[in-house]
Structure 1
Amino acid sequence: MNPGTLIVGPREHVVAIAEPDDTAAAELGPLLRDTARVVEPLCRPEQTYVRMWSHGRDMRKHLHIAVQPVTAEVRARYGGPRSEQLQARMLADGDEPDITEVEQFRGRARDLFQAITDSSTEDRS
């Protein structure tokens, strides 16, 4: 996946979107929204994809939800496809993002995520 992609996953071992209990399910929507609120201003994508992955080599493994900001530059690098065709091409190419770029993004994302969640907590008070 491209730099800026964040992965959301349950703490408990869950392999399907139908498995989380009511509490975990109620937390998932706001968490995905807040994750998109982090990647949108940091990456300025033309679209942010949200995709569920839960496969291993031969069976379901663990639920992961990718929140992937996709820019025109990312699409152009892979020949222009969108959606699952883009993700399939990225995975097939096996490109690894630059670790320095990833760590810089991680720091900015962590700070923004903290600000967003602090704001959400204040709004509920």
Structure 2
Amino acid sequence: MNLGTLIVGPREHIVAIAQLDDTAAAELGPLLRDTARVVETLCQPEQTYVCMWSHGHDARKHLHIAVQPVTAEVRVRYGGLRSEQLQARMLADGDEPDITEVEQFCERARELFRGIADSSAEDLC
């Protein structure tokens, strides 16, 4: 996947959204919103995809939710593909972002997530 893609997943072994307990389900919406906000802030995409994957080789494996920024540059690089066709091509091509760029992105994302956590804590006071 391209630079800026973040994966959200439960710590517990869950293979489907339907298996989430009430607490996990209530936490998932705000977490996905906050993750999309971080991705949008850092990447300025045309669109941010949020999609669930759980497939293993021949059965469900573990719930993963990809939050992926899709920029004009990404679409051009992949011949204008969108949605699942874009993601399939990206995965098949095996392109990986530069590790230094990934580390820099992660540090900036951590700072934004800390800011979100700090503002949430202030709201509780």
- TM-score with structure 1 length normalisation? 0.97
Structure-2 residue corresponding to 1:29: 29
Determine the structure 2 residue equivalent to 1:103: 103
Unaligned runs of 5+ in 1: none
Identity %: 84
Deviations 1:45-81 (A, max 9, x none): 0000001010111110000000001100011111111
Aligned residues: 125
Aligned to 1:49: 49
Question: Does the CA contact (< 8 Å) of 1:34 and 1:117 recur in 2?
Answer: no
Deviation at 1:120, TM superposition (A): 2.2
Counterpart amino acid of 1:88?
Answer: A
Structure 2 unaligned spans of 5+? none
DSSP 3-state at the match of 1:35: helix
Report what 1:40 is aligned to: 40
Q: Secondary structure at the match of 2:4?
A: coil
User: How far off its partner does 1:95 sit?
Assistant: 0.8
Give TM-score scaled by structure 2 length.
Answer: 0.97
* Counterpart position of 1:117: 117
Letter in structure 2 aligned against 1:95: D
Instruction: Give, in whole Å, the separation in 1 of the partners of 2:95 and 2:5.
Output: 14
